[in-house]
Amino acid sequence: MTRVGVVGHVEWVRFAVVDRVPRTGAIVHARETFCEPAGGGAVAAVQLRKLAGAVTFLTALGSDAAARQVVLDLRERHGIGDLHVGQRAGPQRRTFTFLDDAGERTITVLGERIVPCLSDPLPWDALAALDGVYLTGGDAGAVRAARGASVLVATPRAMPALIESRVQLDVLVRSSSDPGEAYEPGILDPAPRLVVSTRGAKGGVWEAADGRSGAWDATALPGPAVDAYGCGDSFAAGLTYGLGAGMALADAIELAARCGAACLCGRGPYAGQLELA
């Protein structure tokens, strides 16, 4: 069994399904609304649980009713039994997300990002027993603890902690179209062994620290496109699982692309996710 984990953040997300995102001054009516614990850490944790059968998830949450609902939903609805939470006084971070008929998601963030820190009383030593960890957020100490896993994959959204930690990532995975995930060589020292850049319907490219590079084509969708929320973190989770399981890079990327494509075909972050376990 491949043992996997996530270190990162969760948001309490209210989704609104609309024909289109409103223009300035306009009013639109939602056909459907629903709430989920989401954000990159939660999406990746649920995807990894569906691939591996179990996942260790280290996160931090606020202290309000939304935070309590996050824990309840992740454990009981999404099967994250090995969930460990650092507590913060104050409200849970929320987002409001439009899901439109073009398949796009448009997100408004409410509140500061809450991430786990090494000072939180969490089972940090357990990460060293894992085959793969995906990190979406944390302090430098959390990054160093996550480096104990056989494979460490991270997003540029954790960049300040990644820089401070001075650990070498196995993979930095990013979206080429997202300004919040920009990366230039030299930002991280030591450099990641591999930088994987997704390009949506155009597939993606990878570059290794030793000068090797490659590309892949997009995977055919298993059904009609519904919305893009969670596709990137589902891709990253698939890549983490594949590399942690000892797959060759091409095979791990192929699995990751299948995860991203499957997520695109479901409403919200979880309905379409690929399930192997």
Residue 73 pLDDT class (50, 70, 90 cuts): very high
pLDDT of residue 43: 98
Which positions ≥6 away from 107 have C-beta within 8 Å?
95, 96, 97, 98
**245-265, pLDDT tens digit by residue?**
999 999 999 999 999 999 999
* pLDDT above 90: residue 144: yes
pLDDT of residue 178: 87
The CATH class that applies to domain 4-22+33-264 reads: alpha beta
pTM for the structure as a whole: 0.97
The mean pLDDT of 213-231, rounded to a whole number, is 96
Query: Which tokens go with 3?
Result: 């043992």
**165-217, pLDDT tens digit by residue?**
999 999 999 999 888 899 999 999 999 999 999 999 999 999 999 999 999 99
* pLDDT above 90: residue 277: no
What does the alpha-carbon distance between residue 219 and residue 261 come to, in Å, rounded to a whole number?
A: 7
Distances (CA, A) of 8 to 23, 44, 49, 76, 175: 33, 9, 15, 19, 18
Query: Positive or negative, the Cα torsion across 36, 42, 47, 49?
Result: negative
- Across the chain, mean pLDDT equals 97
